[in-house]
Structures are given as structure tokens and as C-alpha cells.
Structure 1
Amino acid sequence: MANRFQPLLDAQRGHFLSDATKSYEWRIDQLDRMERMLLDNKEAFCAALYQDFGKPPFEQLFEITVPAGVIRYYRENLKDLMAPQPVPIPQGLEATGNRGVVYKEPYGVTLVIGPFNAPILLLLDPAIAALAAGNTVILKPANTTPATAALFQRLVPAYFDPRDVSIVTGGREEIADLLALPFDFIFFTGSSAVGKVVMRAAAENLTPVILELGGQNPTIVDETANLDIAAERIAWGHNAISGQWCIAPGYVYVHESIADAFIAKLKAAIVAMYGDDPIKSPDFARMISTHDTERVASYILPDKVVHGGRYDIAARYVEPTVLYPSTWDDPALQQEVFGPVLPVMPYRDLRAMIDIVKRRPKSLAAYIFSKRQETVDYILGSLSFGGGCVNQTNLHCWIDSLPFGGVGYSGMGKYYGKAGFDALSNTKAMLIGNPDLRLDVFPPYAGKDIEKNLSVFS
């Protein structure tokens, strides 16, 4: 049976093979169209986010302003990113009129599969990088945010030629059919479980992939930390989007000497942000589904609740909850929580604690709160993770100059800014030879000074 999306792939590939997408003008035109789609429909996008899972205004606008900033970066830097880059070559070759050049060329038709938690930002940011690099794009938004997906389905054809950018909506069947096709590149953001499915499918066609996944992100608060700053930033970083983002602090290790003080300040910070009854707060989002609400609520151990603990399955609500003292045997530490339940554990010895953390699956992010540079250097040198912050949470992933992505279980590949352009481009390395230079390195070799002739390559 023919794949229903084959004609869509064929149309984009035919357009790509015409070389139309490789020009600077085409790329700028796509970026301009993307920007107009976002800004012309800002209110509609915000309303869709609220309809899908009650995103508050700041989190709504965040999903518009960040992609707009990425577009601005590429518009300002695209000519430099596209330009062939001279690179050093062995002195002997360079002295005889040869030179090395690296070209960046687009891969071709790119499939971008987005997640539900940031259904605009995390669908469009990869697409923007792909377009800037000269690729055509097929977008697959999350089916668990139906209002946002429906809006994309209406707007994308209104702003883009389908040979440049198209959209496919639906669920597992549609994703399975898409993944059966031989795309030139696949960019997936979502869970590690689905990431494995994507990677297996990509392997059938040897399609390169970027996988932006997740995991339990460690947060370490040592005895020198500014506890007011740490508590406030962890409270926001963990509970924004109701804890449903892959870079949220997943658990906290706090030095035992300041654990009680930290817990008190963390509780106060949560109340300051969301009030005594967060279900009434206009700034606290809902869980994406009743199933996920049940899942996250099951992690709440009543005897360890020091803050929060209430939930309403029908309302898709879990209160910002702090569990202390948690242990690695607790349900909330068996997998990524992806919800507003935060396990906190005390530690005494930094090196012993880091030894425990580094033996667990590598995380997408990690956060360190300390005023002691020696501690920061030790953690950064010993612990492997995708990226993170010192004395801050979450914001590293929205900065163009900081490549964003995971490692190991939390994903592969980096993007944002120049890293995104490079990731969505094939690096074509070229040696440009001197047309008049004879190299005496060919047979027959009898009577030749082979070492001398080979010295040109060193």
C-alpha cells in the first residue's frame, strides 16, 4: 500500500532538487513568512495555548517571542553562516597554492516532530534552523494540544508554499507513516521512549537525526549558596508549565547543613508565586491530560509532603508539591516526573553525592547553586549532562550563542543559533588544488624519495 504522505515528500524533494531553496533570498523569504505567521496571529496562538492547558500569559508570550528572536538572529547572521569558510591545511600544500574550504549545504526534506509542552516554540525553533540552512520542512505538531495543532493546520498553508513548508496533524498512525518515509533529516523533541522509536525508524533509511529528549535534571544547592535566589529560581524553574518541560529541575540535592532553611525558603517562594491555593492562580498551568495528572499524583508520598500535595484529576491539576526527605527508592525518583512534584534530598559529602548522580542516565540539564568556584568546577568536570546553569535555572536554552541539546539518554545533537544552522547543514569539506602543481606521489615509486614527496602533506 502506498504511503499517503509520499506525494508530500516527493513534492518537497523535487523542489529541493531544483536548488531553489539554497539561495539566500529563499531562506530570508521563509524566515519572513514564519515571522509574519507568528506576529500576525499572536493573540490566536496565545488563546490556543490557554485552551489546550491553561498556559498563563507570560508562558504564552514566551512561545512567540523566543522564535521571533531566533528568526532575528538568523536574519542578521545568515550571510556569514552561508559563506564558505577557509580552513588551515598542511603547510606544504598551502605553500604550493592549495587551500581548504568548508561549505555548508542543506540536507533536504526535514521532518520536525514537536512536543506538547511548548507546542509553538519547540516545533518552530527547529523548523527555523532548518529553513535558515536551506531545507524544506514538514511539521508534525503534537496531537495532545489540539487547539494549537488546528491553528497551525489553518495558518501554515496560508503563509507557505507547501513545497517549502507543510504540516501534518494526527497521532500515532500519522507519525508511523511519516517515519516510514526516507527523509533527509529528522528532528524530534519528546520523550526518550518515543525517541527510540524515531531513531529505529531513521536507521532504516540511514536518516540523520537530532533527538531532544529529557530525563531527571539534578539541581545541587551547596552550603555557600544564596538560598533566597536558589529557592526562587528553583521554584519557578520546576513549576512553570506545571513542571512539564524537559529542562525543569527534576530533583534537588541540598547540603544537610542548610536543608531546613532551604526548604522553608522554597515553600515561601512557591506561595509568593502561586498563592496558598494555586488552583486559583492565573499563573499556574494545568497538566496536559487526566492520565498524566494521575501519573504525577501517584508520585506524592503523603508522609514526605512538606508543601502542597493536593490534586484534582478531573481538573488536570496537581499542586506544586515538595517531598522531603526523598530517597532514590521513592516513586518520584524512578523516572522523569514531568509535573510539579519536586523531590529534595540532603547530602553530606559532595563527592559521594556526585558519584551517585553520575551513575544515573545522563540528563538534559543540571543546575548548580554555589558561591564556591572550586565546587562549581568540580561538578562541571565530573558530571556529564547536556547543558545548564550556575546560580540560575532553565534560561540557558533560550540563548542563541549557547548550543542546546542532550547527551546519552537525554538526546543527541545540539541546536540554537550557529549550532542549529550547523546541525541542519551537511559540512562539505573541500581541498581546492593548484591546477598547475605537479605532485610526485604517483607510481611507479622506484627511485623516488617517497618521504620527501609525502612531506607536502605534513
Structure 2
Amino acid sequence: MSREQLVVQRARKSFQTGNTRRLEYRIHQLKGLLRFITERQKDIADSVKRDLGKSEHATDLFETVGLEGEIKLAIEKLAEWAAPRPVEKNLLTLLDEVYIQPEPLGVVLIIGAWNYPWAITLQPLVGAIAAGNAAVIKPSEVSSHSAKVMEELLPQYLDKDLYPVVTGGVSETQELLKQRFDHIFYTGNSTVGKLVMGAAARHLTPVTLELGGKNPCYIDKNCDLTIACRRITWGKFVNCGQTCIAPDYILCEPSIQDRVVEEIKKSIKEFYTDNPKTFEDYGRIINQRHFKRVMALMEGSTVAVGGESDESQCYIAPTVLKDVKETSKVMKEEIFGPLLPIITVSNVDEAIQFINEREKPLVVYVFTHDNKLIKRVRDETSSGGLLANDCLIHFTVSALPFGGVGNSGMGCYHGKHSFEQLSHLRSCLITQLKLEGVNSMRYPPHTAKKLSWARFFLLKQVNVCRLRRMALLAIFTGLAAFLVQRFLRRG
């Protein structure tokens, strides 16, 4: 029996004790996870520095602050999320209890990604714990230092049987995927996503796939280009471009291309100085394999800004490519690095057509003062999310479901959406062994009269809250009438 099989069996056995069904137990585990994030901040920052070259403050901003917010929200809202949810009834079930009861799925597999090794791996874990599941955590082997710290330290804060960390490479992941899980949550690329989905299908296991894609960014010529380009520069070059929701390429009219290049160039200098290589808040490509992949994407394109590199440090400067063709190498795959191609289009119609001719992206960005144009892009394209006049920040809003569509993924998470994604919303109806006469309409023999009554009782929806309000109003009206009559008699 493999190590991975033993880990999954132990997690399932621990889940079957029923401890995670108690909300107090879930909250206890969530508080343990919160203590881990706060007490081990330096260990986390050091690991990310070694993996991706991020500064301590950048790690705090992009990895742990959001995690803290998600955990605190789950602790605060858990009782509300997990409570039975009454639903509208029909006349036939008017006297019954009819509600939705969220319940745990069982054992969840979480396969994390290397680009944000803590946030992307542990945010789904928050949802898994809140929903009452056990979870096997598989951090990416590519961010090896983060994976090692997670493996060594997380079990000191969480139930190590319910929430084990499994490290290793492709073979370990493949062995995990042979096991039966109740849900698999994978973040990564679409190629591996298909393999995960194929493995899950053998056990009829549902999946959440958080994938990537080439996120378009349309810039209207009449917008404030200075502000637009500052925000695009920030969104693109955060984490050295290794962000699944980074703008992948710009679409704009030829008349503003040179101005866009100049504004981005100014913003790069403002954010990262004249020499980003020596600036602590500009990171590195994760490894040499990815370095070579990103460098190869520049072939055949005109470098307008940047282009410098150092393979020994996995350094690629913030780079803008102009006059890029749709057939260029950089347009063939998700970039996932600090290259920003500009493709010129004659107008928004051509931009929308360009977007729609390709796979659905994780997010569409549009920069404009024109609300009608924003609505057009919203209504005439499809993507996991839409963001106007900024980049990335929709990820910080827990109330918004974060996820893709089509080739950019399926399922969503964040806040309550994580809880819902990793719960089974169980339909419940509790009735009594009484009033059997009412049921005669559904029992044989079936007649036209019975059918007429059945249609009335089954098709008439009843809003229970409204019914209660009407009943209370009737009671108060009756009471008021009674008091008025008594008062008049005394008078």
C-alpha cells in the first residue's frame, strides 16, 4: 500500500468519527490555521523569497493578508452558512418543514499551484474546513521551499490526520489521483486540468478547476491613459507576471499604441526603478525551465520596453512587445511571465471579435470612461470575471465568486462560495403521518377531479415569510378591531 493511499485512508477514517460535523470543531481548526498564518509569517515569507524572489512585504500583501480575511470571515459567518435554509413551499407541503441543509462532502483533495504557493493552496482549505470536510493538501513541488515549510509546520496547528500535507512531484500526484475523493480542487494549467478531470471521472468525483488563459485588456483611446497604464503595469508585473489573472495582452487602436508604450515605460520606472533587477519588490521566474519558456515566447516580436534577462538569476525585465501579430509565438499560449504584447485593433467591434475567436479567459479587462462600452464588452464576451478600469482587485472581494468558464476552468470559490463549493446542499422535507386524506389526490385510481386538485396544490407556490406576515397582519387587524369595539362600547 502506497504512502498516499495510507494518508487518504487515515483522513477518511478521521472524517468518519463525525468530529468535523460540529461547528465548534471546525472553528477550532480555522483558528489553528489563523494562528499558523500569523505566528509563522516569517517562515512563510522566507520560503516565498527563496522560491520566487518576493519581498517580505509583498508576501504579506499578496499571500497572507487575504488568507487572514478569508479565515476570519469563515469563523464569523460559519453558523449562518451552515444553518438550515428554508425554501418556498407549495400548498401540498404547507405544513411540512422544507429546507436545504448544507453537509460535508467527505475527503477533499487540494492540489495547489506554485505562483502563489500559500494563498492559492490554503484558501480552498479554508472552505474545506468550514464545510466540515477532511482535506489532503498537495502543494506544488515547483515551489519546493514553500511546500517543505507547509509539510513541516502546518501539522503543528491542524489535526494532522484530517488535514495531512503530501509533498512530492508528478508520481506522488498521480498516486493521489488514483484514490477516491469526494471532491478535487485543482489550480494550474488546462493541460493538467484535463488529466485531473479524467482521473476524477473514474470515481465520479466532482472537480473544481481553477485554470488560466490569455486575459485580454482593451484600452479605449478616450480614457485616461496615464492611470490606465499605471494600473495595467501593476497588474501585469506583480509576481514577475506569474499571476493567472494578470493582463495577458493589450488590445488598442494603432493611434494610441506609442502613447501606451510610453506610459507603461514610465510606470515601470516608477514602480521598479531604472534597474528592476536590483529592486527588492521585483521577483524572479520560478525556475530555469520556465525562464527558457518565457524567453522563447519573445521570438519574432518587437521589444518596445525591457527585454533584458539573466538566466543565472531567472531574471527577465518587465517587457512590452509592440506591433504583435495574432500569429506571433507569444499569442499561442498563456504567457505567465513579465511580457506584455500589444495588438492593434481598429475599434471595439474588432476587439470583441478578437476575444470571442479564442478560448474563454479567466478575466476580461476594459479601460474606458464610457459605461455603455463597458456593458457592451460585458454582454458580448464571456469570461470568468470582468473588471473595468483596474486589474486583479476583484480577487480580493470575498463576496464575488472567483473562477473560470470553459477553458479557464469550472467551479468557484472565495468566502461563502468556497463553503458552497465544498458542501452538499441536501434537500430535506420533514412531514407527519397525519392528514392522509389530502394525499388521496395522488393515490390511484387517477381521475380528472384528482388531477385538477393535484394541479392546484402542486403548482401554487407559497412564500412562507409572506404568509406569516399576512397572518400576523390579520391577527393585529383583528386585535385592533376588537379594542376599538370595546372602546366604543365603553364610550
Range 348-357 or range 180-189, more displaced: 348-357
Residues 46-445 of structure 1: matches in 2 within 5 Å?
46-62=45-61, 63-90=63-90, 92-94=91-93, 96-301=94-299, 304-438=302-436, 439-440=439-440, 441-445=442-446
> Which whole-Å CA distance do the structure 2 matches of 1:303 and 1:12 have between them?
51
Letter in 1 for 2:410: M
Alpha-carbon distance change, 165 to 260 in structure 1, aligned in 2, over 3 angstroms:
same
Question: How far is 1:301 from its partner?
Answer: 4.1
Output the aligned Cα RMSD: 1.4
Question: How far is 1:326 from its partner?
Answer: 1.0
> Which whole-Å CA distance do the structure 1 matches of 2:95 and 2:312 have between them?
73
Question: How far is 1:255 from its partner?
Answer: 2.7
1:456 equivalenced with 2:457 (yes/no): yes
SS of residue matched to 1:388: strand
Range 322-331 or range 448-457, more displaced: 448-457
Letter in 1 for 2:454: N
> Which whole-Å CA distance do the structure 2 matches of 1:432 and 1:376 have between them?
48
> Which whole-Å CA distance do the structure 2 matches of 1:205 and 1:280 have between them?
50
Question: How far is 1:263 from its partner?
Answer: 1.7
Range 294-303 or range 38-47, more displaced: 294-303
> Which whole-Å CA distance do the structure 1 matches of 2:283 and 2:31 have between them?
31
Question: How far is 1:335 from its partner?
Answer: 0.5
Range 142-151 or range 211-220, more displaced: 142-151
SS of residue matched to 2:312: coil
User: Does the 8 Å CA contact 1:218/1:253 hold for their aligned counterparts?
Assistant: yes
> Which whole-Å CA distance do the structure 2 matches of 1:361 and 1:56 have between them?
34
Letter in 2 for 1:41: R
TM-score of the aligned structures, taking structure 2 as reference length:
0.90
Question: How far is 1:68 from its partner?
Answer: 0.7
Greater gyration radius: 2
> Which whole-Å CA distance do the structure 1 matches of 2:301 and 2:149 have between them?
44
Letter in 1 for 2:16: L
SS of residue matched to 2:435: coil
Question: How far is 1:100 from its partner?
Answer: 2.3
Letter in 2 for 1:34: L
SS of residue matched to 1:186: strand
> Which whole-Å CA distance do the structure 2 matches of 1:215 and 1:282 have between them?
28
Question: How far is 1:273 from its partner?
Answer: 1.0
Range 292-301 or range 189-198, more displaced: 292-301
SS of residue matched to 2:108: strand
Question: How far is 1:159 from its partner?
Answer: 1.6
User: Does the 8 Å CA contact 2:378/2:386 hold for their aligned counterparts?
Assistant: no
> Which whole-Å CA distance do the structure 1 matches of 2:457 and 2:377 have between them?
44
2:22: which partner in 1? Answer: 23
Alpha-carbon distance change, 275 to 302 in structure 1, aligned in 2, over 3 angstroms:
farther
User: Does the 8 Å CA contact 2:218/2:251 hold for their aligned counterparts?
Assistant: yes
Identify unmatched segments of 5+ residues in structure 1. none
Deviations 1:214-258 (A, max 9, x none): 010011110222111111111111111110110100001123332
Question: How far is 1:156 from its partner?
Answer: 1.9
> Which whole-Å CA distance do the structure 1 matches of 2:388 and 2:308 have between them?
31
> Which whole-Å CA distance do the structure 2 matches of 1:359 and 1:302 have between them?
22
Letter in 2 for 1:269: S
Matched residue count? 455
User: Does the 8 Å CA contact 2:297/2:329 hold for their aligned counterparts?
Assistant: yes
Identify unmatched segments of 5+ residues in structure 2. 460-491
Question: How far is 1:413 from its partner?
Answer: 0.2
> Which whole-Å CA distance do the structure 1 matches of 2:8 and 2:207 have between them?
17
Deviations 1:366-412 (A, max 9, x none): 11111101100000001100013111101111211111000010100
User: Does the 8 Å CA contact 1:219/1:252 hold for their aligned counterparts?
Assistant: yes
Letter in 2 for 1:76: E
Letter in 2 for 1:205: H
TM-score of the aligned structures, taking structure 1 as reference length:
0.97
User: Does the 8 Å CA contact 1:365/1:387 hold for their aligned counterparts?
Assistant: yes
Deviations 1:386-443 (A, max 9, x none): 0131111011112111110000101000100111110010111123335423212011
User: Does the 8 Å CA contact 1:4/1:177 hold for their aligned counterparts?
Assistant: no
Whichever structure has more helix as a proportion of its residues is: 2
Q: Structure 1: which 4+ aligned runs deviate by more than 6 Å?
A: none
> Which whole-Å CA distance do the structure 1 matches of 2:448 and 2:319 have between them?
81
Question: How far is 1:302 from its partner?
Answer: 6.7
User: Does the 8 Å CA contact 1:88/1:99 hold for their aligned counterparts?
Assistant: no
SS of residue matched to 1:444: coil
User: Does the 8 Å CA contact 1:74/1:132 hold for their aligned counterparts?
Assistant: yes
Question: How far is 1:270 from its partner?
Answer: 0.9
Deviations 1:345-386 (A, max 9, x none): 122121122012112000111111111011000000011000
Question: How far is 1:454 from its partner?
Answer: 3.5
Question: How far is 1:446 from its partner?
Answer: 5.0
User: Does the 8 Å CA contact 1:322/1:341 hold for their aligned counterparts?
Assistant: yes
Question: How far is 1:303 from its partner?
Answer: 5.6
Range 321-330 or range 443-452, more displaced: 443-452
SS of residue matched to 1:225: coil
Letter in 1 for 2:428: M
> Which whole-Å CA distance do the structure 2 matches of 1:228 and 1:80 have between them?
44
> Which whole-Å CA distance do the structure 2 matches of 1:453 and 1:346 have between them?
62
